[in-house]
Each structure stands twice: as structure tokens, then as C-alpha cells.
Structure 1
């Protein structure tokens, strides 16, 4: 099936899987604003954006996906799930999509703990369950493409913006509590942020550009700073200054506390209450990792407009202050 760029003047709808999630909601709104007809793929009713046709589905069942894809010309996979469920969903999507173009949201986690400037030809060397599942999903989709399917894979960095729990709300709470701040050498790693608006823009280009088929693209800030700089900018935007210097002993204590805090968080979620946020060791490692996503292929092959970093942080902070 051709890309949307070669469809008739009235293109077929794009089915957005995971439309009720943080990225999915932005994706539905952004595609609609760009003039693309959109279908919101949802597991449960009432979770999707208003004014958009919803299609209820089980993303892990090929027959359910096939029914939801009826009449659609392309599909964007924004599903966020546990690793096993995520892979079940990718297998089901490969079976159900046929020749439709799939734009799959992967992750920089497929590169693992490597350092330096990393382009899309780098070996995939994930070092955790999340990254391993993302890399395996890419492998399965490459097999689908080799069998005649159309796939474009986007590898964002840390996706932040209004609605982001992981890279906006949680860091903001930790900054407000004095548990994050200037981490010294522990925060000197490269902060590969991806504004959610930029990820939407890259997806629109991936849907429209015929030549994008079969490619993978890093999608991240072309001029990233370090994590210490991000924490300072976010802290200023939410009024959590002056920024504290976090000593090494405190970071070691956070590592020890991460597991019991995670257990408490899971239990408290069932009761509808909030506990102190854990800072897992994997996150502390990321703050020190000097990996920079090479953005040049995305610039050349997708050419989407980017959000100025200051504007992206300001919009994310304004959302956090409204909802905290």
C-alpha cells in the first residue's frame, strides 16, 4: 500500500494504537491538526480524545486488530505496555496490517549502554527488559517488512511534554522534594530529550514520505545539554529553585531505597494514593551516560519542524503546575 503522500486527495484514516496514553493522545490531536483523518485505537471506552472516532480493540489479538484496521490506510503504534504484552501486540500487528504502512515508536533504549554519537546503523545492544523488548519488536517488524510490509521505525529519546509522567511530572516532583538537583558528575550525561510535539511531527512525515519506508530514525533534540542543565531549566520553570547539589551519599541511598519504594508505589496505586517516587539505579546510570542520538538522518529523511527546547520545557512545566 503506498504512503499517504500518494493516496487520493481524501486519504484513508490512520489508526493510532494506544490513543488513550500520553503519546497517543498527542498523536491523535497532531495528526488531525495536520489534516489527516484519524481513528483512535483504544482498549477501553472513554479513554480517547473527544471528537475522534474510537475503535475498541485488543492490540494483542490479530483478529481484533484486523477489524479495527478496516478502512484504515496506515497505523501508528504508540502502545505502551509491559514487555511481554508489547511483543504480543507487535506480532499481532504484523499479522493484521497487511501492506498498510506501520509507523512504530521504538526507543533509544535499543542502543543500551553505549556512549558517543550513535546513528541508526549502530548495533542494537539493549541491557534491560524494556530495551530488549523494543529491540525484539524491531526485529519482528523488519521480518514483516522483508515479507512485503511497510514499516518506519522512530527511535525517540526521553519523550517529555504536557502529560508526560516519566520525563516531566516525576522529575518535577523530585526536584520539588529536593531529591533531584545538581548531581555533579552523576548528571553530566547527555540528556536526549524528545519533545512530544516533535515526535508527532516526525510521525506525520513518516506517514507522508514514500522514501521513509524501511528506515529507522533517531528523533531527539539536535543540540542536547546534560541532565544537570535540564534539571535546572525545569526547576526554574516550576519554581523549585535554588537547585540543591545532591551529594554522592544521597544518590547511593536513593539506589538502596528504589526497590522498596517501587513496591510501595505499586501497592499504593491500587488504593489511589501516592508514595515517594523511586529513582531506580537504571535512571541514575542514564543521568551519567554520555550517549548522543545522531539526528541527521531524521533531518534529511523526514525534515519535520522542531520545537525550541525552551518552549518545550515551558509548556511541559505549565501543564505540571496546572495538574500537580
Structure 2
């Protein structure tokens, strides 16, 4: 047996089982498509019983060959973290190359950027989770190595049933010495809009290249849209527009116009946008470490969480008022509640001033 196969033989899944789990790659089982191929959902047997899984069937016609396939197997089996997608197995049989992952039932982050039901607390927590996963990759693994992801983007951040974020797609990742800051790479890889401009121009890859890409994701979450635009008004990458609006103190022009009942705490907004813009600094030396990004996002999260709790209280009170209160925003509801409302058929009078 090939040495590489010997190391990972415990992860081998027979093609017959993959076909059975996906109803022979039935279209009704498709949960995702991309340049890599198609992702199907199905079930696999685990020590604790059957569990849902995602089967990524690589498309060999689009350059998904052995290097990326085995790179992902090696990375995800050797390095595990609660905010990295888990590899359950793989199939390399009859010309098929299939990776089997834990199932992320809420799909990828890019699908939810413009969702009005995703609260600001959830958005910040998702970013905090993803930052922890990337921070783990950048840390010294105890063998004086760190991992550079090289393709951080919102479509590579998956969300489980509890909206916990998990960094995925390690096929382009590179292992490098933890004490060496720069790697000269001749093949520029990544995704348009997210690639570090310095890496694109010079071919020098560092962990700060991942930090830049993550900064783009942070702005996507803040603005509720992808970083590229092919509409009539714009063409291509719009990250430069976001940076300009930040520098001009005009964040209100780009921040996602969320459901009016979901206010964004001002201090949380300032912290979130500040760390995002730092990640996008042209100079790599001025970009933060991922550990700093994690710390700042945690503070931003703690600032936002009480706002969601208060808003929930407002809405519960509003529902109990007869006749119902009519309002268009949190601020309007605050004003109405501060004037006093009658509940329980006139038995309770509340003057809510918070």
C-alpha cells in the first residue's frame, strides 16, 4: 500500500457506500456547486451511529487533481479545531475523488450576507468563530510550523445548525516554518477580491495575506454583500469603496440596512469596523495578528449582546399591548414605551425608560 494511503486508510470510504448515501449522486441531494465540483448530502456510519455528511465530488476537468485532494486530507486530518470543518473520510476509487465532511446545515456565509433574519450578534459571533479557526492555523503547531490558508472568503466559511462558523477548503493551504515570515510563491492562488494586493503584485505570501482576506470578509458581513460587483453601476472589486467610506467617516452609507428592529450598538460597530480596516492595511506590518482580531471581535460581541436582549424585551412588551403598538424602528418603540403603556386589560401600567 502507498505510504500516504497507509497513513489515512482509516478514513477510506468505499465508492459503493458513497453512491448509496447520495442515491447515486442524485440531483435532489445537491447542496452546493462550485469550480471544484458538486457537493451532495447524505449519511455516513460513525461509531455513535449514522450522521449527516457532505460529499464533495471533485471535478477533474477543472483542475481538481491529486495535489489539492491529498493536501486537504492531510490538513484536515492532522489539524483539528472546533472552528475548522471536520473531515469524516474520503474516496479515491474508479477515477472518483470525493471528500466527506461534517454536514454544515446552514451552508456557507456568503449565502446569508444579505439576510435580515440574521441578527448582528449572530453576525459578529460568526466572524469571531471564523477568526478563531484561522488563528489556530496561524499558531505554531508545536512542530515549529504554521498553516497559511490562502483562500479565505465568505463561501469558505461554513455554518452548522447552531450557526457556529467553521473554516473550510484547505486544498490550497501551505505549511511553512513558524519562525519564517515570508515565502516566495510563484503560483498566485486565491479568489478575486480577497487576495492580498501585495501577494498579487510581488508573489510574497505571509500569514498577513490571510489577514487581509479575512478583513474583506469582515466588511462583507458589515455591508451585507459580496466584495465584487458586476452591476451597471460598478465593475469588479468594491473593497476600495468600503475603505474610502471608512476613511471619510461615512460608514452609514455602506453598513447593511438591516431589519430596523435589529439595532447595531455604536461601540460594537466602531470596534468591528476598526479591526476590519486594520486587516486591509496596505502595509503588512500594520495588519493585526489573528489573535488580536479574535480579541477585538470578542469585545465587539460583548458590546452587542445586551442590545439584542433589550430589543427582545421591547418587542415582548409591544406584543402584550392592546391595541398593538405601531412603530417602524427600535427608537420609535422606545419613545412609545417611555410614554407608558397599559397591559393585562388595564391592570398593569408600564413606563419603560431604559
Task: Determine which structure has the larger strand proportion and give its number.
Answer: 2
Query: What's the TM-score bracket when you normalise by the shorter of the two chains?
Result: under 0.3
Task: Determine which structure has the larger helix proportion and give its number.
Answer: 1
**What TM-score results when the alignment is normalised by the length of structure 2?**
0.25
**What TM-score results when the alignment is normalised by the length of structure 1?**
0.26
Larger radius of gyration between Structure 1 and Structure 2: 2
Structure number with greater CO (CA < 8 Å, separation at least 6) is 1
